[in-house]
Chains A and B, each alone.
Chain A
Amino acid sequence: MAIDYIYPDYEIVRNYDRCINCRVCERQCANEAHEYIESSNKMVSDDSKCVNCHRCVSLCPTRALKIVKSDHTFKTNANWEGKSIKEIYKQAESGGVLLSSMGNPENYPVYFDKILINASQVTNPSIDPLREPMETRVYLGAKPSKIERDENSRIKRNLPPHVMLSMPVMFSAMSYGSLSYNAHESLARASAELGILYNTGEGGLHENLYKYGKNTIVQVASGRFGVHKKYLSSAAAIEIKMGQGAKPGIGGHLPGKKIVGDISRTRMIPEGTDAISPAPHHDIYSIEDLRQLVYSLKEATRYTKPVIVKIAAVHNVSAIASGIARSGADIIAIDGFRGGTGAAPTRIRDHVGIPIELALASVDKRLRDEGIRDNVSIVVGGSIRSSADIVKAIALGADCVYIGTAALIALGCHLCRSCHSGKCNWGIATQREDLVKRLNPNIGYKRLVNLMTAWQHEIMEMMGGMGINSIESLKGNRLMLRGVGLNEKELEILGIKHAGE
């Protein structure tokens, strides 16, 4: 019925004076938005198929293409925006749950953008990171609360297992299956070169990537895909996934069309079947149950690796974190409601969870108040967009951050938010062979190394400006932060003063 025709959000604008009918755009578009019409010797485009991923724009040799937001509009209505109307049309037609990708795009406050960083003037000299030593190395894991000595008064070596990172950043969990092999290889190789860690996500680990084990966090999620002893033993750390910022409280579901070839083997399920990760772990209904999984993983790896528990930032996150810090876990990872995803129900992604800045500040405070902050390290993600976000997160109390979306953007992602279609034109979120090979891991890993190297310099410059020469001195140092345009409650939760105070 014509009522369901929705005018496209984006229009493909072709400058025919420049177009040479080379058909590159046609070959590059997995959505088949471009077509060559032989009879008229002309390229035409179907706007309705365009996802605005810029692949054709980037590769057009004559710069003949651009994508513009359509100015076609519904009658102006402050309550019923076009987006709401279109979504109702889609659901009235299909009866389906709306499915989206990547992080929450809605207009909620971004607290990182309302926090400003301090710098030294006159009384406390700033430090020039190009000339003076500056430490960005961090160790993640539980820290003993006291030094113990043996009968000969020698210090007992009872330090729990740690991971060492050259800078306070890790690549967050993105599964092989949701990402292509080439994307995974890029992340693994970049981590090895940088001395940081990447995270397998819940899809298991491809056998070729075991050699990057000491730069790998292996994830154990409710579906337990690809989990076995060698997988656990190969890693630097093990992460139990309880939740994800983009979809708190719900599970994962990799559609059967993505379960092909090596994905099927790595996940250990037959080709073409859905990979379903239930919302809860069905053996974890309490902190005591969580402790059981933490210790079974520690037993399986002879207490040689830190165990991370990852949760989504939700309303009572600090109470949950307090439980996790007592469960035997070494690291808590908290994922904010802007975190990315390969697919999540739109309503969950856009309406569930809380901002990571508030979650982080309240968890750090709660753990310090209870005297258990050193039981665990805190890693935050969702979403960290720049080195400034990292500095702010660490000053709010984090030990380290996870980046996902930023890493994918470095690999070429243009944030078209169509990962769930499996037709990623940049070869990142797809399993189609012709698309996967567009991402060259030799180039991809280098771009990730470049990004992290640049951020590391920026972190050092910001720290130097504050007169701080190590991440350890920045951690939880909220005096280095001031809020702008925040109300008293927000300042209280963040534990910072307003600018001018």
Chain B
Amino acid sequence: MKLSAHELGFQALNEKIHSSKEDVVINECFGERFIGVGASSKTITINGTPGNALGAYLDGAAIIVNGNAQDAVGDTMNDGKIIIYGNAGDTLGYAMRGGKIFVKGNSGYRTGIHMKEYKEKRPVIVVGGSTGSFLGEYLAGGLIIVLGLDTDEFPAGYFTGTGMHGGEMFIRSNKTPISLPKQVSINEASQSDIRRIEDNLAEFSKVFDIAMDEILSKNFYRLIPNAKNPYKQLYTEN
């Protein structure tokens, strides 16, 4: 089914997506918000620039964006996949609980903040370019990979992993990171670490047609939390 986002507006557009039994292609997308919110099946392909909260609470559907996306992509997403062939805005994957987000280009501030995980349910974000500051802030679970394919600088901004208390991040770079907070411990990733994320790297490589050799041509830093209870010493019972 082909739909024009511009003609319908977000409410009618989502109504049509919701009632469609088949895959959906959306054209003329000029910033319409909330596309595919909570969708649980089918593939939604967007040609254009979807607005904020694309695929929020996504519950199993696949969303492909041929263009850039804006803020709050995959907010509190539970399952499914979002693939963006451009850049994404701020708070990408906020509080994600499951599923995967692949971004070919860059993403904004607070990428992957507050992601969670429980047992087999483990969300994944892979960003091909760089991210803004506060990457993985309050991270409680899940996996974030930042590749920095187009830069020789460290591909994340300031305050990476502030308040991090779970999950892990891999950042591909030959440059050492800037200003990490004390909740984060950082090491060069070992071969076995890389093997654990290899399936996600391979999927990224295949989706965006970027050679695995290129992806593996630099070091990866692995960031994990220093303590599960960063604020334990902060309080005195009164």
Tell me the A residues contacting B by CB distance below 8 Å.
87, 90-91, 93-100, 222-225, 227-229, 232, 253, 255-256, 264-265, 267-270, 272-276, 278, 282-283, 292-293, 295-296, 299-302, 345-346, 418, 420-421
Contact = CB atoms under 8 A, between A and B. Distances in A.
Contacts of B33: 292, 295-296
Interface in B72-116: 72, 75-76, 78, 90-91, 94-95, 97, 110, 113-114, 116
Contacts, number: 145
Contact of A278 (B14, B18, B138): B138
A299 B140 CA distance: 27
Contacts of A292: 33, 52-53, 72
- Among B90, B234, B236, find the residue whose CB has the most chain A CB atoms closer than 10 A: B236
A224 B95 contact: yes
A274 B228 contact: yes
B168 interface: no
Contact of B234 (A96, A227, A268, A421): A96
19 contacts: A90-B238, A96-B235, A97-B234, A99-B238, A224-B94, A272-B229, A273-B140, A273-B165, A273-B166, A276-B138, A278-B138, A282-B110, A283-B71, A296-B33, A296-B37, A299-B38, A301-B38, A346-B238, A418-B237
B113 to A, nearest CB: 6
B233 interface: yes
Interface residues of B, number: 50
Contacts of B238: 87, 90, 98-100, 346
Interface of B: 10-11, 14, 18, 33-34, 37-38, 40, 52-53, 56-57, 59, 71-72, 75-76, 78, 90-91, 94-95, 97, 110, 113-114, 116-118, 121, 134, 137-138, 140-141, 163, 165-166, 228-238
Contacts of B137: 282
A91 B238 CA distance: 10
- The residue in A227, A275, A293, A299 that gathers the most chain B C-beta atoms within 10 A of its C-beta is A299
B121 A268 contact: yes
B165 A299 contact: no
B141 A268 contact: yes
Contacts of B18: 302
A222 B114 CA distance: 9
Given A268-B117, A283-B72, A292-B52, A228 B57 contact: yes
Contacts of A94: 236
B134 to A, nearest CB: 8
A345 B163 CA distance: 19
Contact of B97 (A99, A268, A293, A299): A268
B166 A227 contact: no
A269 B116 contact: yes
Given A228-B78, A273-B165, A283-B90, 12 more contacts: A99-B235, A224-B116, A225-B116, A227-B57, A253-B231, A274-B229, A282-B113, A282-B137, A283-B91, A292-B53, A295-B33, A296-B53
A270 B141 contact: yes
A96 B233 contact: yes
Given A264-B118, A283-B94, A99 B38 contact: no
A225 B114 CA distance: 9
In terms of DSSP, what is the predominant structure of the interface of chain A? mixed
B155 to A, nearest CB: 21
Nearest to A222: B114
Contacts of B121: 268
- What 9 A-B pairs have minimum CB-CB distances, sorted nearest first? A96-B236, A224-B95, A300-B38, A98-B238, A299-B37, A99-B235, A94-B236, A273-B228, A228-B78
B78 A229 contact: yes
B140 A296 contact: no
B114 A223 contact: yes
Nearest to B96: A224
Contacts of B78: 228-229
A68 B118 CA distance: 47
Contacts of B114: 222-224, 278, 282
Nearest to B90: A283
Contacts of B141: 268-270
A96 B231 CA distance: 10
Contacts of B95: 223-224, 227
Nearest to A278: B138
A223 B165 CA distance: 13
Nearest to A227: B76
A97 B236 CA distance: 6
B59 A228 contact: yes
Nearest to A267: B116
A346 B90 CA distance: 34
Contacts of A274: 165, 228-232
Nearest to A272: B228
A229 B235 contact: no
Contacts of A302: 18
A340 to B, nearest CB: 16
The residue among A94, A98, A228, A418 with the most chain B CB atoms within 10 A of its own CB is A228
B166 A270 contact: yes
Given A292-B52, A300-B57, A224 B165 contact: no
A301 B40 CA distance: 13
A96 B233 CA distance: 7
Nearest to B238: A98
Contacts of B71: 283
A265 B116 CA distance: 11
B166 A269 contact: yes
